[in-house]
Amino acid sequence: MTTSPDPYERSLPEGLAPETLAVRSSLARTQYQEHGDPIFPTSSFVFENAAQAAARFAGDEDGFIYSRTDNPTVAAFARRLAALEGGEACVATASGMSAISAVVMSLTRAGDHVVAARELFGATVQMFGILSRFGVSTSFVPLADTEAWARAIGPQTKLLYLESPSNPLNEVADIRAIAAIARAHGIPLVVDNCFCSPVLQKPLELGAEIVVHSATKYIDGQGRVLGGAVIGRRSYIVDTLGPFLRTMGPTLSPFNAWVLLKGCETLSVRMHQQSANALEVARWLEAQPGVERVHYPGLESHPQHRLAMSQQKTGGAIVSFDVAGADDAARRRNAWAVIDNSRILSITANVGDVRTTITHPASTTHGRIGAEARREAGIGEGLIRLAVGLEAPADIIADLERGLSRVGR
Ligand SMILES: *Cc1c(COP(=O)(O)O)cnc(C)c1O
């Protein structure tokens, strides 16, 4: 948590670029002058004497007390991510879901209302369902329909919530316009920036108040640990969210924070290379007769290509496409054939890894929502989602071609 004292931070010149901060922002070195970031696996911290303990607890003296509240390695990760997102402060959490639930719960009480995008990560939708038991209701609106966001706001609405681009169809929200609507109502827009990471998209610069992350995805980038984070104004993070998290306790472990610190160092090169690979795969897919449609915001054929490119640096690394088929059964059979004929792609629902993952949303991540809801959301039986990694694009393409060549028109 960034409530930790500034003397613990290594001093750096002003005005450094995000790529520099991603590798250079850190805690002050210990007396051992280590070059790498240290891990502090300790539950508590020792005081010089009783008076110092009293001063720390009273908040009269800066310093660490207990690792549920704050830990140097966790603080170093939070500072690095705040620097990358261009936010005043950041607090790290045990997972993306704990970051998301803490933000929504810290901003609402019974009787309040939230407006959220219809196209959200599944567990986030379920979380809004749980919160309805505590008297917090949610209206879901189509992500790309900016007018619908304005219409759904009522007197009890306390926040707007979205992800962009959406999963798995890569629909894009007009973040600037929706942030302006939120501001006009004096409420925050919260953006889950997991799919772009701060390397490709900076929601705070686009007008959002709060950014949440599942650091489990691109920030780790290598499928090792779970983590989450919230970035925003110091007044919100330190005065409102910090005390909430300290009490509820979904604390990031120092070890996971250290892994995520390392992830930040390579985030920029990974995001740019994985995006370039994704664009190459998307362009190839678009030319295949067995593919009906490719959903990738980096392609000129994407209906929101210009909007996407006005707020993201690239189209990102997620590519979805519809495999052709005479009917739903054939589309599913053909999609499964593409998946089962790949040799190197990992059949797993996770995204953000340096290894390309492939999944069939209709029978996995979106299997439980039912055929009707899937039709409404545009998730067909032929849809495949790729989270493109760092393999040579030619190898990814060769893997996809093996299955696609069997798909007759
Ligand atoms: C994975 C994911 C989450 C949840 O993160 P966890 O770290 O698994 O708790 C939230 N939002 C998006 C967009 C995700 O992909």
Separation of 351 CA from ligand 1 center, angstroms? 9
DSSP for 289-332 reads TTEEEEE-TTSTTSTTHHHHHHH-SS--SEEEEEEP-SSHHHHH
**Does the global pTM surpass 0.85?**
yes
Chain segment 357-397, per-residue pLDDT in tens: 999 999 998 888 888 888 888 899 999 999 999 999 999 99
Q: How far is 311 from 395, CA to CA, in rounded Å?
A: 30
pLDDT at 248 over 60: yes
Helix and strand numbers (H, E) in the chain are 15, 12
Chain segment 320-341, per-residue pLDDT in tens: 999 999 999 999 999 999 999 9
Q: Is the CB of 232 under 6 A from ligand 1?
A: no
Q: What is the pLDDT of residue 365?
A: 87
The whole-chain average pLDDT of the chain stands at 94
pLDDT at 28 over 50: yes
Q: What is the pLDDT of residue 210?
A: 98
Residues sharing a CB contact under 8 Å with residue 96, sequence separation 6 or more, in sequence order:
121, 192, 194, 212, 213, 214, 215, 216, 217, 226, 227, 228
Which atom of ligand 1 approaches the CA of 100 most closely? Answer: 10
Return the residue whose CA atom lies nearest to atom 2 of ligand 1. Answer: 214
